[in-house]
Amino acid sequence: MRRFVEGIDRGQATLFPECLEDWVDEDNPVRVIDAFVDRLDLSRVGFDGVAPEATGRPSYHPAVLLKLYIYGYLNRVQSSRRLEREAGRNVEVMWLTSRLVPDHKTIADFRKDSGPAIKQVCVQFVELCRLMGLLTKASVAIDGSKFKAVNTRDKNFTRGKVVDTKHHLIVTHEVTNDGSDRAQLASIACQAKQVLGIDELEAVADRGYYSGAEILACHEAGIEVTLPKPMASGIEARGRFGKQDFRYVTEEDVYVCPAGEKLAYHYTNEENGLVLRRYWTNACQSCAIKQRCTTGKERRITRWEHEHVLEEVQKRLDKNPQAMRQRRETAEHPFATLKMRMGATHFLMKRLPKVATEMALHVLAYNLTRVMNIMGIQPLMAAIQA
């Protein structure tokens, strides 16, 4: 006769362990959360209520609510009402909060009112990773992605992210409701450089970040960026030569066209705040391949005053054609992981500052998971407590 695994009678009395400590083993991730939050100087990072008031009803210590939120985002429980339920029934949360069960409004208000401080907690964990030697390689990948938000479709949020290329940790991030990445490169790259505490940085981004002004700002900040130039004019699609087919000769200050003619400098003007130099030749009319170059009287080439910076970017890309593949392998996985954890609704809160707070919690949970997988629970605990 086939037998089955038998359960215990629900009416049978059970002798539970005498303390919650016996229910949480030494390799449980909640111990990392507990140790990390206890290590923080919550007053310095900006939390209110660290020192109790002399009068009035006692409040919850910020550490309790912060631990609850980190646990929630680590385990895909982001709703304040669900966190309230977990605090009353989940043994891990009971251990983490010392059996305190804050109501959902208290939990929600903490997230709503503590945005800047929570973002600093995320920064503090990245700093801890740097001290542990996980961010020694001065190379990052920059990318952005659209996330669903509680708003109209044309205001969906985009998150810019810088990922360490070795361990795939998120070094820094920024939330914006600007659908274009073109104005984000210098800001996010400089943030990464500051977080890593280094003088020089290598950054790889996709063509959506290409902007001459942004690349120049990175160059002046000691950041070497590698990214492809977008082909926006469509001239190559029509079978004609692009600007990349014209070779610039620095010594003579001329461009050499595919037919071997030299395009000389004629004048300089300013357009959209950029100082531009104009080059052309009068030999186009008799050129045998003119139809592959231009439909006008002559082909004109425009050169920005800082064009040499853009040329260096192209040279780096030519020397390392695998850079874009490395960027995809580094940056796309964290986005997929974050969206999977967030679920179908993605963000729960409204307005940009509150969404930024949510993203900081998601990034912190992601980085915590990555470091626990890389180092293991016990070594990470030892590093935190060192």
| pLDDT tens track for 97-106 | 999 999 999 9
Domain boundaries, position 169: 135-229+320-354
How many CB atoms neighbour CB 272 within 10 A? 6
Q: Which tokens is 106 given?
A: 């208290």
Alpha carbon dihedral 282, 285, 289, 293, in 10-degree steps, equals 60
Q: Please tell me the number of Cα atoms within 13 Å of 62 on its side-chain side.
A: 23
- Angle (deg, nearest 10), helices 323-342 and 352-375: 110
What is the secondary structure of 6-24 as a DSSP string?
----TTS-----SSGGGGS
On whether residue 100 sits in a domain, the answer given is yes
| Tens of pLDDT, residues 283-342 | 998 898 988 888 888 999 999 999 999 999 999 999 988 888 888 878 777 877 887 787
Residues 160 and 288 both lie in one domain: no
Are 326 and 222 within one domain?
yes
- Same-domain check for residues 215 and 250: no
How far is residue 221 from each of residues 86, 171, 189, 306, 330, measured CA to CA in Å? 47, 18, 9, 15, 23
Q: Are residues 179 and 249 both part of a single domain?
A: no
The pLDDT of residue 364 is 94
Do 216 and 346 fall into the same domain? yes
Query: Is residue 330 included in any domain, yes or no?
Result: yes
Give mean pLDDT, residues 262-274: 92
- pTM confidence score: 0.81
- Domain match, 224 and 335 both: yes
Query: Do 275 and 342 lie in a common domain?
Result: no
Residues 207 and 289 in one domain: no
Q: How far apart are the C-alpha atoms of 123 and 100, rounded to whole Å?
A: 27
Q: Beta strand 262-271 with 254-256: parallel, antiparallel or unpaired?
A: antiparallel
Residue range 140-154: average pLDDT? Answer: 71
**Residue where one domain finishes, among candidates 63, 81, 113:** 113
Please name which of 114, 103, 100, 129 lies closest in space to residue 66, comparing C-alpha atoms: 114
Residues 341 and 200 in one domain: yes
The number of distinct structural domains making up the chain is 3
Is the pLDDT at 153 greater than 60? The verdict is no
Name the average pLDDT for the chain.
87
Residue 226's beta-bridge partner residues? 204
Three-state secondary-structure class, residue 144 = strand
pLDDT computed for residue 181 by the predictor: 78
